[in-house]
């Protein structure tokens, strides 16, 4: 038996984001004048699951959200959600860890030479 994810355990901003996503998906479906029955058939899901998607239910898999976005023609932007180019926090942290100075490669020591004296 799988673990059932409820919105109670999620941070408030995450719940709001999922509700907004669900509402945006519903609005996109309505703008395209796609009935729920046809939308569910095209996404290979039940109408109940589509209803959960449109409400932003966190228990619905990301794969189903992705499929619904694909049906609506909005799936391309999904790949950009965590794109490294728009990860400002990650880029700033990476920049902080850059070395302060870079040393030129020195001449390699030849084997057998010992400055303290040969033994």
CATH of the domain at 69: 1.10.260.40
In a domain, 2, yes or no: no
Q: What is the pLDDT of residue 70?
A: 97
The interaxial angle of helices 47-55 and 36-43, nearest 10 deg, is 100
pLDDT 10s digits, 17-76? 999 999 999 999 999 999 999 999 999 999 999 999 999 999 999 999 999 999 999 999
In a domain, 112, yes or no: no
The answer for 44, left when phi > 0, alpha when psi is -120 to 50, beta otherwise, is left
pLDDT at residue 81 tops 90: no
In a domain, 97, yes or no: no
Identify the band that residue 115 occupies on the pLDDT scale cut at 50, 70 and 90.
low
In a domain, 108, yes or no: no
Question: 17: domain range?
Answer: 10-84
Cβ within 8 Å of residue 39, ≥6 positions away: 29, 50, 68, 71
Count structural domains, the chain.
Answer: 1
In a domain, 91, yes or no: no
Identify the band that residue 80 occupies on the pLDDT scale cut at 50, 70 and 90.
confident
Q: How far apart are CA 91 and CA 93, in angstroms?
A: 5
């Amino acid at each position: 038996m799988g673990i059932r994810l409820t919105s109670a355990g999620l941070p408030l901003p995450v719940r709001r984001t999922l509700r907004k996503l669900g509402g945006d998906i519903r609005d996109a479906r309505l703008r395209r004048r796609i009935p729920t029955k046809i939308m569910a058939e095209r996404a290979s899901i039940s109408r109940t699951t589509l209803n959960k998607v449109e409400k932003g239910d966190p228990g619905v898999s990301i794969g189903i959200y992705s499929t619904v976005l694909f049906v609506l023609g909005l799936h391309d932007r999904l790949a950009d959600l965590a794109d490294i180019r728009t990860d400002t926090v990650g880029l700033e942290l990476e920049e902080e860890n850059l070395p302060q100075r870079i040393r030129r490669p020195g001449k390699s020591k030849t084997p057998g030479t010992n400055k303290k004296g040969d033994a």
